[in-house]
Amino acid sequence: MGINSSVVIGVILSVLLVPKTNAEGITAKAEKTIYPEEAKLLGHQGTAVVKVTVLTDGTLESATIHVSSRSKILDQAALETVKSWKFGPAIDKEGRPVDSSGGVKVTFYKDDPETFHLKTCSDVNIDVKYFKNTFPELRIEKMYLNSLAMILTWPKDQNAKRVMHVARAFSPSFSKSLADCEAHPEEKFLDLLIQNIDSFLLPSQDTLVK
C-alpha cells in the first residue's frame, strides 16, 4: 500500500507514503515545487521524510519532519512543499474514508540533466564540500553528481567494447576530475570528466565522444 502519486520537483522529488491503517493508499496531488535558491547555491542536497496525517475529508491535519535531510533549509522546504499539496483520504476495505498517517519521502537534487554540461567546477567544489561535511560516513561516489555524470558519459551506441572501457575508466576519471576542479574552478566539470575518461583509455581504443 502506498501513495498514488509520484512527482518531480526542483530537479528530483520522489514520494512514498505508507499508511499505518489497513487501507488503500492515501492520494496526493502536487500543487507547487519548492527548492530554495539559497539551498542550491550552498550545495544543499538530500532526503527528508515528512510524517503526515490525513483526515477522512482529505484535510492534512499535520506534517512534521520524521527523518531530517541534515539541512534545516531543505527540511523546511520539504514541509512547505508537502503542505502545499492536496490530499485524498485512505479508503478501508468497506470503501469508507479513514484517518491515516504515513511518511512522504522528499529528495532534493539540484543538477538538471539538461543543463549539466554547463555546471562549473566551482559549483562542483561547493557540492563536494557540503556532501563531505554533512555525510562524512558516506563515500563520495554516493553523491548524485556521480550517478548523473555516469549516465551522461555512458556510450550512447552501447558498443560492447567501448562500454567495457568506459566502465573501467569512469571511477578513477571521476576522482581525478574532482581533484582537477579544485585547481581549475572555472572549468566545466563534464568537459573535464570526458577528457579524463578519454585520457584513461589507451590510444588504440575509441574515445568517449565521437
Q: Are 90 and 32 in contact (CB under 8 A)?
A: no
CATH topology of domain 27-108: TolA/TonB C-terminal domain (3.30.2420)
Nearest in space to 77 (alpha carbons), one of 54, 59, 115, 104: 104
For 81, list phi and psi in degrees, rounded to 5.
-65, -50
Half-sphere exposure of 145 (CA within 13 A, CB side): 29
If one counts every other C-beta atom within 10 angstroms of the C-beta of residue 210, the result is: 8
Strand locations in 31-94, DSSP E? 46-54, 60-67, 86-88, 90-91
pLDDT interval class at 94 (50, 70, 90): confident
Nearest in space to 170 (alpha carbons), one of 142, 149, 140: 149
Q: What is the per-residue pLDDT for 31?
A: 67
C-alpha cell at 13: 522529488
If one counts every other C-beta atom within 10 angstroms of the C-beta of residue 69, the result is: 23
List, for residues 141-198, the tens digit of each pLDDT value. Answer: 999 999 999 999 998 877 788 888 888 999 999 999 999 999 999 999 999 999 999 8
Cell 543538477 found at: 111
Q: Are 128 and 119 in contact (CB under 8 A)?
A: no
